[in-house]
Structure 1
Amino acid sequence: MSKTPSPRKGVSTSIEKALDPFASALKRVTPARATPATPAKTGKPGLAVSPLAVPFPAIPPIAGVEIATARAGFYKHDRHDLTVFRFAEGTSCAGVFTRHQVGSAPVDWCRRHLESDNGGQDVRALVINAGCANAFTGKAGADAARRTASAAAKRFDCRQRDVMLASTGVIGVVLDDRKIAARMADIEAGLTADGWAAAGQAIMTTDTFPKGAFAEAKIEGVTVRIAGIAKGSGMIAPDMATMLAFIVTDADIHPNVLRALLNLHVRTTFNSVTVDGDTSTNDTCLLFATGASGAPRIGRVGDRRLADFSKALDAVMLDLAHQLVRDGEGATKFVKVTVENARSPGSARKLARSIADSPLVKTAIAGQDANWGRVVMAVGKTDEPVDRDRLSIRFGPHWAARDGAPASDYDEAKMSAYMKKPELEITVDVGSGRAAATVWTCDLTKGYIEINGDYRS
C-alpha cells in the first residue's frame, strides 16, 4: 500500500507536535464569494446544478502563477478538459496522495519526484487533465505521464521532474498524451493571472459547480495570498476521493514546511469528508508556494511567524472540502456529524465516519427522517468503546435519545420540521471518554444511482 510522503532527512519527525500551537487556534473562515456573472455549468451535460452549490469566489491574481485551459478532446462534448499552471522559478511544492493500492500513473509520478532528494524545491508547472484517470494502465500509462511532463518541460524550459501531473476520469484507459502536447502552444499563449474560475471549471467531471476558495494572511506584517480549486463529486472518502485539490500561495515557504502544514490540515479537512465511502485511485492535493509576495522565507517547521498563515490555509482547505460534500452526486442535504466524549481522537473519527458513511443513515436523511435507531446501529457496529447507558443523540438542537434511551421530551413535529432543512447537524455523545471529531457528509438519493449508472456513457 502506498503511503503519504514522510519527512526528508534533517526534518523533525514530530512535525505535527511542532505545529500544535497553530492547530489549536484554528478558526473556520468562509472566504467572501462573488455571484457568478453567467449561469453555472456542470461537468457533464444533463446534470442539474446541486441545490447545495455555492458561487465561485472572487480570486485575485496570486503573484508567481499563471493559468490557462483548453479543450484537448478527452470528452465528446465541447468543454475545456486541460488545465496548466506555470509557476515562477524557485516555487516550492508539497503533496499528499491517495493510499489506494491501485494508484494512478500521475500519482506515482508526483510522489516519486517530490520524495526525491531536493524534490519540490523548484516546481515550474502543473498539468491537469479531466476525462481520463490514467489509472490501472501499467507501463503504457507511466510512459504517457512521462511524455506529458516532457511536453510541458520543453514548452516552459524546465526539467521533467519539475512538472507535476494530475488526471481524473475513467479508470483503465491509457492517457492519449498527444492530445495534451498538441495544445501546449495554445496553452502558453493563453496563460493569465486571472485563470482561477476557468481552471475550476475545466477540472470537473461529474461535478455540478466549480469549487474555489481564497484567503489572506500576514507573515511578519506582509500580506500573503492563498487560493485553491478542487474537484470531486463521487468516489469521495479521501485517505491521505475522485478528489483533486490544488492550492497556491505567494508566500516563501520551504517544501518541508509546506509538507508539514499539508499533513496537519488534511486530517481535519479533506480526510474528514465523505460522499459515498469510496477512495479514488487518483486522490491528490498539491500545495505550491511561489515566494513572490516579498514576505520573509520560512524554512523551519514550528516557526511562530506561520501561525496566521496556517490558520488561513486551514480555512481554504476546509472550504474546498465542504464544497466536495455540497456537490456530492445527487445530494440534497449537507450534514455535519460530530462525535463527542469518545475514548480517543482516533476512536471519535472512526465513529463519526461510520455514521457519515452508513447508507441507512444517509437514506433516512434523504427521506427527512430522524431515524436515530440507524445512528445507534452505525455507532455500535464499529467495535469502538461506547457506553450504551450514556449514549445520547441530537439532531440540531433536538434530542432524540438521552442516556441510552429515547428522550423524554422528544417532539416529532419539531424534529420533522428540522429535517426539512438543507443543512443538518447530528451530534452523538458516546460517553466513553473526552475526545471529539467531526466529519461532513451528504444524503444518499436516487440521483447518486442515476449519475453512476451511466457514468461512462
Structure 2
Amino acid sequence: MPLNLKNFINTQTFNSKMNDFQDLEHIEGVSISAVCANLYTKRRDDLVMFYFRDGANYASVYTQSKIISENIKWNLNIKSKKIRSLIINTRNANAFTGSDGYKGLKEIAKEISIQLSEKQKKDEDYPKKISDNEILFGCTGTIGEKYPTEKIKKSIPELVKKIKYVQNKPIWMKAALGIMTTDLKPKLAMEECKIGNAEVKIYGIAKGSGMIFPNMATTLGYIFTDADLSNDILSKLLKKNIDTTFNAITCDGDTSTNDMVSFFSTAKVKNPIINNINDKKIINFDKALHSVLLNLSKRIVADGEGASKFITVNVVKSKNDKEAKKIAFSIANSNLVKTAIAGEDPNWGRIIMAIGKSNVDINLKELSVQFGKIKIIEKGELVKNYKESDVAIYMKSQSIDISINLNMGLKNFTAYTMDLTKKYIEINADYRS
C-alpha cells in the first residue's frame, strides 16, 4: 500500500516532510487499510480501517455533548469484549441524520463482518466468524448531511483487499492522512517502554483542527498497544490520562458531536498480568501513554484552524483542580486574549479580564502573572520595572507561555490553545464549499 503523495497536496500538507514525524513501524496484531470512497469532490483517501485479526481489548471516551452522532450511539451500544475492526470516514459526521444514519452504519457493519469473515477463512488456520457487534465507527465532517452509506459499502471490499498485516511509517502516515478534514498536517505519536521486563509499544494517530474543546474527549484519537491489558485497565488508564491531555486543549471553545478517543490492546506481548493501575510494573507504561496522548493533543492545537501561535496557559498554586482549570480555560477560550496574541499585542489587561470572568474567588494581593520569563504582575500590582517593549518582543515568538500564580494552594492545571486569526474565519466561512 504505497503512500499516495497526492494526499499531501489535496489535504494541503505538501510542506510536511516524513522526517517531521516519529518512526511508527510494525505493531503486532494491528493491520491498516485506507482507500478513496469518493466522499470528496477531489480524490483522496477518506476511508480508513484498522483490523485486529485476533481481536483487541479496548476502551473509549466520548463527547459529553447533548447531541451526539449516530456512530457514537452505535459505539455506546457495543457489548462485545473485543473489537475486530475500527473504521473511520471523513467528510460526513453522520450527526443529525436520525434513523437513516444509524441504519447506514448497520448495513456497513454487516458488509464489513462478511468481508472480514471471508478474510479469516482465507488467512487463518482457525478462522473466526466476525460479528457486526465487534466493529467500532469513527465519523468526522459536516453535520446534518445525508450519510453516504452506499459509497462506503461499495468501498469495503477494496478496503479489506488492501489490508496490510505488516506496518511501516508510510502506512501509518497514510492512515493519519486519511482521517483528516480541515487539518493541515497528519498527527502521529509513539512511545516504547517496559511492563516488567517485557518491551511494549504505544502508537497513536489523531485528527482535529477546529471544533476543539474538551468535554470528556475533544477530537478523534486512536491509540494502539501490543501490551496485554484488560478492558478495565485500558479504561482506567485512558480516563486517568485524558484530563491533562485531550481534555486540556481548546482551539475555539466548541465541542463536537463526534468526539472520541479509543485505546486498543492486541495483547501480543506477554507482559506480567496487571490487575491494578497502581501496580508499580505499569508506572512506565502509564507515563508513556500520557506522553503519546499529550504529543497528539499538542499537535492538534498547533494545527488549529488558522493558527500562527501555540499558547500554553499555566495556572499554579490554586486551591483545587477545578478552579485552576476554570481560570486556565477562561484565558484559553477568550477571543480577546487570542486575537491580542495573534496581533502580537502585549495587552496583559485581557488576561486580567479573563481571570476575573472565570468566577473563581482569588486573593488579588497574591496574584502573579508573567509572559514567558517576564514578570508583569506581582502580588496584585504591576511590577515597578515593567517594560512593555520587552513583552512586545516576546509576543513575536511562535510559542507563548502565560503563567498565572494564585498563591492560594497546591493544585495546578495547564491548558493548551492557539491564537485567533483572520485565517480561522476564512476556513470556517468556506468549510462546506
The answer, yes or no, to whether TM exceeds 0.5 is yes
For 1:176, the equivalent position in structure 2 comes to 148
Residue of structure 2 in register with 1:63 after alignment: 28
Could you tell me how far 1:54 is from its partner in structure 2?
9.0
Correspondence 1:245 to 2:210: no
**What residue in structure 2 maps to residue 150 of structure 1?**
110
1:438 to 383, 393, 414: 414
Post-superposition offset of 1:219: 1.2
Aligned to 2:122: none
Question: Structure 2 CA distance, aligned partners of 1:409 and 1:359?
Answer: 29
Structure 2: how far apart are the matches of 1:40 and 1:82?
13
Structure 2 gaps of 5+ residues are 118-129
Contact 1:362 1:444 in 2 (8 A): yes
Residues 1:327 and 2:303 are matched in the alignment: yes
Shift of 1:49: 6.1
Change (3 A) 1:225 1:99: same
Q: 1:54 to 1:300 in 2, by over 3 A?
A: same
Of the structure 1 ranges 318-327 and 298-307, higher mean CA displacement relative to structure 2 is found in: 298-307
CA distance in 1, matches of 2:151, 2:7: 27
Q: Report the equivalent of 2:54.
A: 89
Q: How do 1:49-448 and structure 2 match up within 5 A?
A: 55-113=20-78, 116=79, 119=80, 121-157=81-117, 158-192=130-164, 193-194=167-168, 195-240=171-216, 243-448=219-424
The AA in structure 2 aligned to 1:180 is: I
CA deviation vs aligned residue, 1:386-445 (integer Å, no higher than 9, x gap): 111222110000011111121112122221111111011000112332221100011000
How much does 1:40 deviate? 8.3
Which whole-Å CA distance do the structure 2 matches of 1:383 and 1:296 have between them?
Answer: 47
Give the secondary structure class of the aligned counterpart of 1:204.
Answer: coil
- In 2, are the aligned partners of 1:219 and 1:296 still within 8 Å (CA)? yes
Q: CA deviation at 1:294?
A: 3.0
Q: Deviations over 1:279-301 (max 9, x none)?
A: 00000101000011232343444
Shift of 1:123: 0.7
SS in 1 for 2:90: strand
Change (3 A) 1:455 1:226: same
- Offset at residue 385 of structure 1 (A): 1.7
1:43-99 CA distance string (max 9 Å, x none): 646x8869xx99232101110001010000111111110000001324101000000
Contact 1:88 1:290 in 2 (8 A): no
What number of residue pairs does the alignment pair up? 415
158-167 vs 182-191, which moves further: 182-191
User: Considering only aligned residues, what root-mean-square deviation do their CA atoms show, in Å?
Assistant: 2.1
Q: Contact 2:217–2:261 at 8 Å: present in 1 too?
A: no
Go from structure 1 to structure 2 and tell me whether the alpha carbon gap of 1:347 and 1:42 turns closer, same or farther (over 3 Å shift): farther
Q: Could you tell me which amino acid in structure 1 is paired with residue 328 of structure 2?
A: A
Give the match for residue 16 of structure 1: none
Tell me, yes or no, if the aligned pair for 1:40 and 1:49 is still in contact at 8 Å: no
Identity %: 39
Q: What are the superposed Cα offsets for residues 11-55 of structure 1, whole Å, 9 maximum, x if unpaired?
A: xxxxxxxxxxxxxxxxxxxxxxxxx9979826646x8869xx992
Deviation at 1:451?
0.2
Change (3 A) 1:55 1:448: same
Q: Secondary structure of 2:222's match?
A: strand
SS of 1:237 mapped into structure 2: coil
Give yes or no for contact 1:42–1:206 (8 Å, CA) kept in 2: no
Partner amino acid for 1:173? Answer: E
Identify if the C-alpha distance between structure 1 residues 448 and 43 changes in structure 2 by more than 3 Å, giving closer, same or farther.
farther
For structure 1, the 5+ residue unaligned runs are 1-35
* Offset of residue 242 of structure 1: 6.6
Contact 1:247/1:288 (CA < 8 Å) preserved in 2?
Answer: yes
Tell me the CA shift for residue 165 of structure 1: 0.4
Contact 1:43/1:206 (8 A) holds in 2:
no
Instruction: Please say which of residues 54-63 and 401-410 is displaced more in the overlay.
Output: 54-63
Distance in 2 between residues matched to 1:430 and 1:37, nearest whole Å: 51
Q: In structure 2, the residue corresponding to 1:377 is in which secondary structure?
A: helix
TM-score (norm. length: structure 1): 0.87
